[in-house]
Chains A and B, each alone.
Chain A
Amino acid sequence: MYMHVNFWGQEFKVNMIIGCIGGFLIAVMSSMFGFGGGPFMVPLMTVILGLPMYVVVGSSLLAIFFNTAMASGRVISFGNTDFLLFAFMAAGAIIGGTLGPQIAKRLNPLWVKRVAVVGLTILGLMLIGVIPAPR
């Protein structure tokens, strides 16, 4: 049930039952809707599993990678990948991945988060239908 993890000489005890159930649910959700599950994985591993941030940053990414790789194979086999659209999105991901951290350095992370909260809330309410949205 518990797994002992050694990270840079420090020993941590991880509840793998909670970790695996939580990881499974986040994987179903993120592969179903087509995003990486990072913002959900990090709270799961820090708050619920009680691991410190420096253990989580790299390992959560590795865990998510398993999910994304499997799900990518599945969507391609189902014929749901438009490769032209994928090419555009991949270009966006690569450019955003290089520009994003540069911009982040110059901005106050607190304000970036606040803007993101407002944006996500509006988008979420539009999707649910509380705020009028294109049909």
Chain B
Amino acid sequence: MRKIVLILAFILIASGTALAQVEQPLIVEQPLETVTISLDKAEYKGGDTIKIEGKAPLGRPVYIEIASEARVQVSRLDSRRDPDTGRIPWVFYQSRDIPALYMILMPEVVKAGYEIEKAKGRDWSVSRTLLMTGADVAFLTPPKGEVHRWQASVMATITGSKGERLAPMTEEMDRRRTMPLIKTRFRHIENVFSPTIQVKEDGTFTAEFMLPNNAPSGAYTVIAVVDEDTKSAPVAFNRDLAFGQLYFPRAGQTLNAIGPFLLAVAVCTFGVTMGAGGGFILNPLLIFIYGIPHAIVAGSVLPSVLFSQGAGIANYTKIKFINWKLGVGIGLAMLAGGFIGPLLTQFITLEQFRFLFGWILLILAGIMVWQTTPGFLERNKRENAILKEFKKKAEEARAARLAAMEEAKKTTEKK
């Protein structure tokens, strides 16, 4: 019995060393499983083509992740019905760590998977694309950021809150939650994925990526990935701004400064001429021409409206043309509305924003058509005559007041 145990023990030890011997060559092989990568330049301008070269282990697909150091805030309300529970989650996700520019280059062999996802149009998904093309291994930078969650509800929205803050998620959940945020930010599959890496028989690969004109300024990192353990060292490059270009940090894009300025001047001048202010025309154009996220458009144009309104109020106050009781009365109800509105902007998608804005503009056009009908013009003519008379009276009253004050001053000076 003892002998048998001894023999068994011997066999075990012997097989153990044999296994160890098998492992040995694996460790030796490790250095061969490396990926190298290099760029043709260290600095690029918008519109430049980045030429990437490298070498990967033979026969393995290689993926290249390009991410800007510049980050933006992305929000999304999950209103998609859960197929298992049949409930709409209404969870609001927000991250401030989404790269302003993000791209995963993939080998040409996975193009079929990419095309299937692209054919789905608006219903494409980042997670499915990553799985189908194997690019999952290169999805490295976005999951490093934090994603916050809130349980949204009608009651919370009425009180102006995003909802109840939900506890942080596991790392894997966090990783999955960044994927829809990437879609929210970049919208179309071709803005995030590109199956254009050419892998040669000897394991070397080349790829080209045109840095878009609106790409953020500053540092970028490029990394080539074969699998979880086999990555290249990250390579950095810089995006320089040409003369006149500016980086808009919240919008997360570079624009030529003259464009938005001229647009704002032209549209606001026309808006004031037609008597409606600039926002109605400016906001859709900023989305159409520059593709700025809708929440940023609303959030940047709205405070600028304060200037024209403030100037108008100052003018009307001088001639005592504001009824404070009436203005403050309705103003308090509007204060509550202004508390909720900006929250709703974050809750809706770009498609919903466009659709609702479109109808608002059509209604506004309807109001303006009504304002050009003969009946309205007749009434308006009378009203304007009275308005003019009142304004004249008001101006005279103001002049009289000022004169009286001047007089009073003189008499006190004389004394």
Contact = CB atoms under 8 A, between A and B. Distances in A.
Q: Classify the secondary structure of B's interface with A.
A: helix
B339 to A, nearest CB: 6
Q: How large is the interface on A (under 10, 10 to 19, 20 to 34, 35 or more residues)?
A: 35 or more
B375 interface: no
A5 B305 contact: no
Contact of B393 (A8, A33, A104, A121): A8
Interface residues of B, number: 115
Contacts of A134: 288-289, 291
Interface string A72-83: 101110111111
Contacts of A129: 354-355, 358
Contacts of B26: none
A74 B333 contact: no
A44 to B, nearest CB: 9
A16 B339 contact: no
Q: Classify the secondary structure of A's interface with B.
A: helix
Contacts of A60: 327, 330
Given A65-B309, A103-B273, A28 B341 contact: yes
A56 to B, nearest CB: 9
Nearest to B319: A58
Nearest to B369: A117
B372 interface: yes
Contact of B250 (A23, A55, A79): A79
A34 B329 contact: no
Interface string B385-409: 0110011011000000000000000
Contact of A68 (B288, B297, B338): B338
A1 interface: no
A105 to B, nearest CB: 10
Interface stretch (B41-49, B53-61, B277-285): B277-285
Contacts of A128: 354-355, 358-359, 362
A2 to B, nearest CB: 11
A40 B307 CA distance: 19
B273 A104 contact: yes
Please list the 9 inter-chain residue pairs (A to B) with the smallest Cβ-Cβ separation, ordered nearest first: A92-B264, A27-B337, A100-B272, A96-B268, A35-B279, A31-B341, A34-B298, A62-B327, A80-B299
21 contacts: A16-B330, A21-B333, A27-B336, A34-B279, A34-B305, A39-B364, A52-B386, A59-B330, A60-B330, A61-B316, A65-B309, A71-B338, A71-B342, A81-B300, A81-B303, A88-B261, A100-B268, A117-B368, A121-B361, A125-B362, A135-B187
Interface of B: 73, 96, 160, 187-188, 246-251, 257, 260-261, 263-285, 288-289, 291-292, 295-313, 316-317, 321-346, 353-362, 364-365, 367-369, 371-372, 377, 380, 383-384, 386-387, 390-391, 393-394
Interface of A: 3, 5-8, 14, 16, 19-21, 23-40, 43, 45, 52-55, 57-72, 74-76, 78-86, 88-97, 99-101, 103-104, 107, 109-110, 112-117, 119-121, 123-129, 133-135
